[in-house]
Amino acid sequence: MEEAIDVSAFCTNSFSKDRLAEAVSCNTAGTHTNAGATELAMLKFIKRCGIDYHHLRQKYLPANLLRFPFDSSRKRMSTVIELEDDEQTEHNYPKRIHCKGASEIVLQTCSHYLNEQGEKQVLDDQMSQQLDQIIKSYARNALRTIAFAYKDLQENEGGPAHEDIEEGKKIYKIEEAGFTLICIAGIKDIIREEVPGAVIMCN
């Protein structure tokens, strides 16, 4: 089953577009010919934006890839990318983590968000309420929501290899807090052609 994706919070400014391009390209594992429905929708979306996810994966994903996969208890997936020498980061350290997952889960880890100009802003109570209303409006229109967020890492954050985890938890230390929200995506399940007839038959 294929899905359609609408990213209403996606802006035309280059900074937000670059972060979302990294997030979708590098924090997914599938391809256009071999992917789950949700990842395929994401990859098709950035393709329509003129983004080559193969190129970004080659550019940012190291051979010793650090990725924390999605599962039903974590409700998120995270990947650490390695930036090039000429790319600026908040801590002058060449690593960034991207996280995507259930909106309510990812939003809990965010302290900031990107505004329409691609500027980092504090995620205050007013904006949190506005985002909550967006999520609820998507739900009323039968859309699932996924949040995309990133964080520029500091050296030794979450341990020397960035993969320390609290005992008894499935959340890694670098996933817990300090993220900046890129956008919230609304995903719609496309009804297959045979479904309406099957429903009528059952009734």
Per-residue pLDDT tens digits for 14-70:
888 899 999 999 999 888 888 788 888 888 888 888 889 999 999 999 999 999 998
pTM listed for this prediction = 0.87
Owning domain of residue 68: 3-202
The amino acid at residue 147 is A
Say how far apart CA 145 and CA 104 lie, in whole Å: 9
Give residue-wise pLDDT tens across range 70-105. 888 899 999 999 999 888 899 999 999 999 999 999
How many independent structural domains does the chain possess? Answer: 1
Alpha helices by DSSP H, 87-176: 103-107, 125-140
Closest CA to 67 of 29, 37, 36: 29
CATH number at residue 75: 3.40.1110.10
List of residues 6+ apart from 134 with CB closer than 8 A: 8, 9, 184
Q: Residue 109's pLDDT band (boundaries 50, 70, 90)?
A: very high
Q: Which residues contact 142 (CB under 8 A, 6 or more apart)?
A: 188, 189
The answer on pLDDT for 9 being more than 90 is no
